[in-house]
Chains A and B, each alone.
Chain A
Amino acid sequence: MMNLLEIKDLHTYFEGNGAIVKAVDGADLSIREREVVGLVGESGSGKTTIANSLLRILPETGRIVSGGIIFKGINIRELSEKEMQFKIRGNEISMIFQDPMVSLNPLFTVGEQITSVLKLHQDIGQKEAKTKAIDLFRKVRISDPEKRFDNYPHELSGGMIQRVTIAMAMSCEPSLIIADEPTTALDVTIANQILNEFEELIGEIGVSVLWITHDLGVIKRICDYVNVMYAGTLMEQGTVKTVFENPLHSYTFGLLRSNVIYYEPKGKIPTIMGELSEIPHQGCKFYPRCPIGDEGCLQESIELRKIDENHSIRCIKPEDAKRLSRSKNHGFQGVC
């Protein structure tokens, strides 16, 4: 089965004031049809930059240095700007954003905003677009959709606007929806509701989803596959079941361990000490914070390698990580 999207060894850098920031520095990721794939990592690990590279909407200072982005067999990097606008953005790949309150234009009604997307990508008039938009609103369970159509974003609640953006993301029947932390800015009950509805909807319309988040709970709940990023590099990937039950990278393990939902802590909650900013020039980027790393980890660049069919890691000491995950002394310092 061919992959819908295949990202191979992507490098996206930002340049400014003479310095280069390697926001994405070796990311591999693939998404099959109708699959929900999670991308997890802490803030600043380059998750959103991957999404922006995918749609080629990087800020002026950013550029894709190397790597391949193959979508439906087409190399996204080779498309013209016009092709990106008309074929890809909003049409084949659409996006849902982190903060619903600021992701829609405050000076246009939500109806105007969704119909303008419909009219841009489909050959339909205002009337037809409006009917379609109201149908979509109904689908995402917006109450009283005819009335909501003429509302401005400030007149709706955060959860309602997020429903509008979900409707907008589905409007042109895309093959892939990128969800960039869409529940982070919502309160827990609303986030839960929206998550439930979204899960149902994607099953219904059969779309692939790239779910970007730092919430492991969400990943476990809705994703089939998970990718763990650290400092712009992909550290571990595999099915949610394998990775959550049998993490082979100490970073993944640390992330899971610090989450009280999966491991009831005996005493203090373990955390990964240190900061994302301490990155060695060579070798494993996680080395400064890793409880099992030694000099060997800094010797050469470490490749992503397959452990089995559904599991890859970028670590040379998976056995030690395995031992770590079984031992009582997990190697991470506790706080709280």
Chain B
Amino acid sequence: MSLERYALRRFLEMIPVLFIVLFIVFLMLHFIPGDPAKNILGIMATPERLEQLRKSLGLNEPLHKQFYVFLTQLARGSLGTSIRYKAPITELIFSRLRVTLSLVFMSAVFCVIISLPLSLWATKHRGKFPDYVARISSLFVFSMPEFWTGLLFLNIFALRLGWFPTRGWGSGLLDNIYHLFLPSFILGLFLTALVTRTLRSDMIEVLQKEYIRTARTYGFSDRTIYLKYVLKNALLPTITVLGLNLGWLLGSSVVIETVFSLPGIGAMLLDAVIVRDYPLIQGISLVFALAIMLNNYIVDIIYGLIDPRIYRS
């Protein structure tokens, strides 16, 4: 099988999963016990308003019809209207998606530029000082919840030292990056610690392999051995860990966006939950689910690129 066919097959395999995801998101409204309309408007709502909402959400129709309407709407690119903002949900999400994606992307960049050299350094000097630095600092990071790290860093670097803005998103690319620096660093910390630890232990394992001994026997320098062979062979488990943790990253973005008052969809999700804007919650959940599916797909392709055994046998 070629890489292209492997990519296509993996893509087709996503379709049934997509329908299951859509169905679960659709059912969210009905998972909560009681009348959805009452849940949204609260117990003080008048019967007229309840009836009006039921009508606009189509709640009087049978379930399969509702799902059909949900799907056809989606096919037309509509996720319905937000109850709170009185605006189309797709527009709301798109206007804020940029912030969240930038945040997640920047934290991934932080993760790579810190964890890669750190784990290489720790592996090279395993059992010695650099190794202890890497291991203890990542343990330290593991033990701190990000809302706390967020507040701590906000207090020190934004309020006391005044190096970074305390809130908001700014305007213009450079200003955006400047505003995102602190929040994305904090969001990326946990992942950095995780990747450092995984990569370090996997690289140490790879170093014991016979093929590394072969490379050494044939005169390759330490530099080539580490950067070309050890790193590539150890990367697979790390990518698994990274891929699995994207969901965690999106979840944490809710917290970080709230702490730093960033106008992303994570913060919007929290708002929607507070005001019980169920259609909006559905819309954002769907986006998160799709993001994770897409991420898993990309991870699968990277797998294939690194280790051809995955698609060639």
Contacts and interface: CB of A to CB of B under 8 A. Distances in A.
A104 B306 CA distance: 16
B210 A89 contact: no
Interface stretch (B8-16, B149-157, B211-219): B211-219
Interface in B255-276: none
B312 interface: yes
Contacts of A85: 219-221
B211 A103 contact: yes
Contacts of A94: 217-218
Interface of A: 55, 57, 84-86, 88-91, 94-95, 97, 99, 102-107, 116-117, 120-121, 152, 154-155, 165, 168
A332 B211 CA distance: 41
A168 B219 contact: no
A168 B218 CA distance: 9
Interface residues of B, number: 21
B313 A90 contact: no
A103 B312 contact: no
Contacts of A165: 214
B304 to A, nearest CB: 12
Nearest to B306: A107
A102 B307 contact: no
Interface string B227-240: 00100110000000
A97 B210 contact: yes
B218 A120 contact: yes
A121 B313 contact: no
Given A57-B216, A94-B217, 14 more contacts: A57-B217, A88-B219, A89-B216, A89-B217, A89-B218, A95-B214, A103-B210, A103-B211, A103-B214, A105-B229, A106-B307, A152-B308, A154-B313, A155-B313
Interface string B178-220: 0000000000000000000000000000000111011111111
Contacts of A95: 214, 217-218
Nearest to B208: A59
Given A85-B220, A89-B219, A117-B218, A107 B232 contact: yes
Contacts of A116: 220
A107 B219 contact: no
B76 interface: no
Q: Which of B209, B215, B306 is packed against the most chain A CB atoms within 10 Å? A: B215
17 contacts: A55-B217, A85-B220, A85-B221, A90-B218, A90-B219, A94-B218, A95-B217, A97-B213, A97-B214, A103-B210, A107-B306, A107-B307, A117-B218, A117-B219, A120-B218, A154-B309, A165-B214
